Chains A and B, each alone.
Chain A
Amino acid sequence: MMQLPESLPLWLGIPVVFLLLAGSLVTLIGALGLLRLPHFYQRIHGPSITITFGTGCFLLASMLYFTGLEQRPIVHELLITAFVLLTAPVSAMLIMRAAVYRDLRNENKKATENLHQSLPKPKTD
């Protein structure tokens, strides 16, 4: 049973609820992307909105909520933000490279054609 805290003022509760809803919505959309997108290289982009915007909303909501609840600034969620922003890109890159090398090795025509031949020429100036 969820007990709504008495000490949380309404003007703080509204943004907290709004942030939680926004974060949940973005997480849902990211999961939908993971589910619905047809190709691996597209699916990898789905959860990235969860990692950035979703996590950002949740952490901001957490900071506001506990700051209001305990009547003192609580900001150690900033650490989570920093570590997520440092580690998530690395895992994305590793997954991406694993997929690319798998496709190159298996000569997956559809994927590697995309990778090698239809690369647009970079502008030379």
Chain B
Amino acid sequence: MKRLLPSPLLTLALLVIWLLLNQTVAPLHVLFGLLLGLIIPRLTLPLRPTQTRLRKPWVLFRLLSWSLLEILRSCFNVSRIILFRKQQDLNSQFIRVPLDLKDATGLAVLSCLINSTPGTVWVEILSDSHELSLHVFDLHDANWWIDTIKQRYERPLIEIFEQEQA
């Protein structure tokens, strides 16, 4: 079973993508999508060096819904700043956030979420101190950002991807 189906989530995702692309749930397409979902994960297995298991899907769901709200809120803020704020008053800064999350997939998700949120861009992880360097469009309080990222983003990701350490 493990050999036949190395990553069931990927299989499911490929099937869904195939059905969405063809906009149908006809049995033939379901069958072909399943076939793709069975073959592609096996072929791409060497490309994925780390195997990750999603441990708490509902935590991920909560994280994603919260991020969506945060993205909408940030969109509003960034628009307001672009339209109405004087440019001299803008306090664009680099900040550093110490990270505890080590899992590569978790960090990838974190970077996607942070970069998707308008007003913050991920620069890099400083390898010596494992700190995240982040550029913030309009910084009020660096500690607020650090707390938010650690509480709201990093903690759920640790729960999802590194549960055995928690």
Give the B-binding residues of A (Cβ under 8 A): 26, 29-30, 32-33, 36-39, 41-42, 44-46, 48-49, 51-53, 74-76, 78-79, 85-86, 88-90, 92-93, 96-97, 100, 114-115, 118-120, 122-123
Contacts and interface: CB of A to CB of B under 8 A. Distances in A.
Nearest to A48: B118
B92 A39 contact: yes
Interface residues of B, number: 42
Contacts of B151: none
A46 B97 CA distance: 23
A88 B71 CA distance: 14
B163 interface: no
8 contacts: A48-B116, A85-B116, A89-B112, A89-B122, A96-B121, A96-B123, A119-B94, A120-B95
Contacts of B119: 45, 48
Interface stretch (B17-25, B28-36, B50-58): B17-25
A46 B23 contact: no
B115 A29 contact: no
Contacts of A33: 78, 82
Contacts of A49: 74-75, 78-79, 118
Given A26-B79, A29-B82, A45 B118 contact: yes
A63 B113 CA distance: 24
Given A48-B119, A52-B71, A96-B122, A41 B92 contact: yes
A75 B23 CA distance: 8
Given A41-B135, A86-B112, A92 B121 contact: yes
